[in-house]
Amino acid sequence: MFKTFIVEIGMGLDQHGHNNNPTNAAVKAIKNAISNNCLVGLRDIVGLKNPADMAVEVLIAAPYPENINAEQVLAAVPFGSKTLTVVEGGMKTMGLPVAALGDTTGEVIVANAAVTVKCNMP
Question: Tens of pLDDT along the chain (122 residues)?
Answer: 899 999 999 999 999 878 899 999 999 999 999 998 888 888 888 888 899 999 999 999 999 999 999 999 999 999 999 999 999 999 999 999 998 988 888 999 999 999 999 998 76
pTM: 0.93
What pLDDT does residue 101 have?
Answer: 87
Q: Shortest CA distance to 106 belongs to which of 88, 93, 122?
A: 93
* CATH architecture, domain 2-120: 2-Layer Sandwich (3.30)
Which residue intervals of 1-118 are DSSP H helices?
23-34, 40-44, 70-74
What pLDDT does residue 45 have?
Answer: 85
What pLDDT does residue 54 have?
Answer: 93
78-to-17, 36, 56, 83, 104 alpha-carbon distances in Å: 26, 14, 10, 13, 32
DSSP helix/strand/coil, 83: strand
What pLDDT does residue 75 have?
Answer: 98
